[in-house]
């Protein structure tokens, strides 16, 4: 197999995706430093313009029909998003402003012009779902789709109600039929290591300075001891890659103690049928598609143990 590459050397040839926004409890978003209501003109709001363009593209291509696998539409949105800038800590920006303790209800941060690693996957799936509505797709509908994926049981409360660990995000979505965990079907090996990374690295998470939130995160981690997670080992990915579908969500499992995955992406097949990944790279830059095929990509990731796979429904 290839000699392990640095993450930057390995990452793909692509471009960048677009548009960001944060929605507190009343659904508003900042544009040019000011909050505008959901009825704002798309001429002034690049997020709305992008949302309209992407949902129209899906409908024109007949990918918004409910008879079409959701993954096909999700993968198409991922391709449209190529080049959009990565922004670290996008979902935690409200905490980093230092306005006091974490609020009881976390703001719902939405963006199609900037992405963090998880928000890229959530946003692509949410746009694909929003395009399937009977009437005109709306930004509010897009926000609802993100919210029910991002928070435990789809209920947004404080920081601790967000699904921080990828394996819980998969398990919670599987329970509510938002996606299917296909790790078992693909012959994944159970990873029974306890997840304690957040509580053991308290200083790395701004919200965990609050004792109440910290205690909630510790309790969540202990509950995850009972959640099964299946990892397809790196050496076996090539054996099952033909069963991984366009738009499947890929979590890159890690050997890092206390952590399940370090990054997530969408599975995409190119015009020759080669399985690659579209993702918002942790190294910065923009959303891209990997130059390497999935098995080689994972083999080149330092500390990677394999992949977790979930299928949007």
Over residues 246-266, the pLDDT tens digits come to: 999 999 999 999 999 999 999
**Superfamily for domain range 7-312:** Putative xylanase like domain (1.10.3670.10)
Checking if the pLDDT of 1 tops 60, the result is no
**Per-residue model confidence (pLDDT) at position 71:** 97
Checking if the pLDDT of 133 tops 50, the result is yes
d(CA 64, CA 72): 9
Q: Could you state, in order of their start, the residue ranges of all structural domains in the chain?
A: 7-312
- What token pair was written down for 56? 């129209």
Check if the beta carbon of residue 150 is closer than 8 Å to that of residue 176: no
Check if the beta carbon of residue 47 is closer than 8 Å to that of residue 21: yes
Checking if the pLDDT of 111 tops 70, the result is yes
Q: Which of 93-102, 122-131, 141-150, 157-166 has the lowest mean pLDDT?
A: 93-102
Q: Which stretches within the chain are classed as H helix?
A: 7-10, 46-60, 70-80, 93-96, 117-130, 139-150, 166-175, 197-200, 211-223, 237-240, 294-300
- 292 vs 5, 249, 275, CA distance in Å? 11, 17, 9
Residue 261 bridge partners (DSSP):
253
Phi-psi region of 188 (alpha: psi -120 to 50; beta: other; left: phi over 0): beta
- What token pair was written down for 263? 């990054």
Relative to beta strand 179-181, strand 28-31 is: unpaired
Check if the beta carbon of residue 146 is closer than 8 Å to that of residue 109: no
What is the band of 166 on the pLDDT scale with cuts at 50, 70, 90?
A: very high
What does pTM read for this prediction? 0.85
């Amino acid at each position: 197999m290839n000699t392990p590459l640095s993450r930057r050397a390995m990452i793909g040839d692509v471009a960048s995706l677009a548009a960001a926004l944060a929605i507190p409890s009343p659904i508003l978003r900042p544009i040019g430093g000011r909050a505008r209501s959901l009825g704002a003109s798309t001429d002034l709001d690049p997020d709305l313009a992008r949302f309209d363009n992407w949902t129209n593209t899906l409908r024109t291509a007949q990918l918004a029909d409910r008879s079409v696998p959701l993954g096909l539409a999700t993968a198409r949105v991922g391709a449209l998003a190529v080049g959009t800038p990565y922004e670290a800590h996008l979902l935690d920006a409200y905490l980093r402003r230092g306005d006091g303790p974490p609020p009881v209800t976390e703001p719902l941060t939405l963006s199609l012009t900037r992405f963090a690693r998880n928000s890229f996957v959530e946003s692509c799936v949410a746009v694909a779902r929003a395009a399937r509505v009977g009437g005109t797709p709306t930004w509010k509908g897009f926000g609802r789709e993100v919210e029910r994926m991002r928070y435990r049981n789809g209920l947004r409360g404080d920081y601790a109600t967000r699904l921080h660990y990828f394996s819980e995000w998969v398990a919670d979505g599987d329970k509510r039929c938002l996606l299917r965990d296909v790790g078992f079907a693909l012959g994944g090996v159970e990873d029974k290591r306890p997840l304690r990374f957040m509580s053991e690295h308290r200083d790395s998470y701004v919200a965990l300075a609050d004792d109440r939130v910290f205690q909630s995160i510790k309790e969540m981690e202990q509950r995850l001891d009972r959640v099964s997670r299946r990892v397809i080992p790196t050496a076996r990915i090539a054996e099952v890659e033909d069963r991984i579908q366009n738009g499947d969500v890929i979590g890159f499992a890690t050997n890092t103690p206390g952590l399940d995955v370090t990054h997530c992406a969408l599975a995409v097949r190119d015009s020759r049928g080669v399985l690659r990944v579209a993702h918002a790279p942790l190294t910065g830059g923009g959303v891209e598609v990997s130059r390497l095929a999935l098995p080689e990509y994972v083999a080149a990731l330092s500390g990677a143990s394999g992949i977790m796979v979930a299928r949007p429904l």
